[in-house]
Amino acid sequence: MSIWAYSLISVTFVSLLSLLGVFTLGIKEKFLHKILIYFVSFSAGALFGDVFIHLIPEVYKDGTTVYTSIFFLSGILISFLIEKIIYWRENHASSILGNKVKHFVFMILFGDGVHNFIDGLAIGASFLVSIPVGIATSLAVILHEIPHEIGDFAALIHGGLGKKQAIFYNFVSGLTAILGTLFALVLSQYIVGINNVLIPFAAANLIYIAGTNLIPELHKETQLKRSVIQIFTFILGIAIMYGLLIVG
């Protein structure tokens, strides 16, 4: 298969994860939370493993310049600004409009759409490096999207949407991942060496997600046994990324 085929199949699967929430409706919230917290640690390890084992070595394989570091920092800065804008608009508009539920739902969908677009960008850029690197990044994104999409679905229900509405709108926001992948692939056709920009940017975004969104969630767990399991699943996520490197 071509790079385009691998990329689009992978990102389509990622987009379909937005439908996962419907399968959790019959599961008790306490049990679901217990499972998801281990999935969060597993996906955090997979994201860090993908970045430091697959993506960063590709960036520095042919040497580097100060611009590579600037692209990394730009990725982190843009991720930070996007979250800042989303949180600011949520608080600002809620206080002005007095319609917190409606705006809360909108901001979840908007934020998720932007986030999925960047995930798709990372997948497309990774497949441009090589198929094994693309598969590793796709797996890391999938692992982190599972708890993320389930959480979004629950938040949309809590925000006032019906189950069918929540499924539909969450799925639509998930489709932006495909746009992100197409953007990376099309851009590569017109700009030589664009991956020297896209890969550091994508790596920075994955680091930001793992470091600011996932790791803080893990620190909320203080029970010793669960913390040990979290550490184990975190290491397992890294180990799987290393295993993919050996197999690839």
**Res. 16 pLDDT band, cuts 50 70 90:** very high
Task: Return the pLDDT at 98.
Answer: 43
DSSP conformation letters of 82-109: HHHHHHHHHHHHHHHHS-HHHHHHHHHH
Task: Return the pLDDT at 82.
Answer: 81
Percentage of the chain with pLDDT > 90? 41
**Distance of alpha carbon 135 from alpha carbon 45, whole angstroms:** 16
- pLDDT over 70 at 192, yes or no: yes
Question: 131-153, pLDDT tens digit by residue?
Answer: 999 999 999 999 888 888 887 88
- Classify residue 217 by burial, with Cβ atoms within 10 Å: 0-12, 13-18, 19+: middle
Mean pLDDT of 40-69: 86
Question: Residue 66 CB: number of other CB atoms within 10 A?
Answer: 6
Task: Return the pLDDT at 106.
Answer: 76
**Distance of alpha carbon 72 from alpha carbon 32, whole angstroms:** 35
Lowest mean pLDDT among 45-59, 60-74, 179-193, 194-208: 60-74
Question: 71-121, pLDDT tens digit by residue?
Answer: 999 999 998 988 887 666 555 444 433 444 456 677 778 888 888 999 999
Which of 113, 74, 95, 84 minimizes the C-alpha distance to 205? 74
Mean model confidence pLDDT for the chain: 85
Task: Return the pLDDT at 162.
Answer: 80
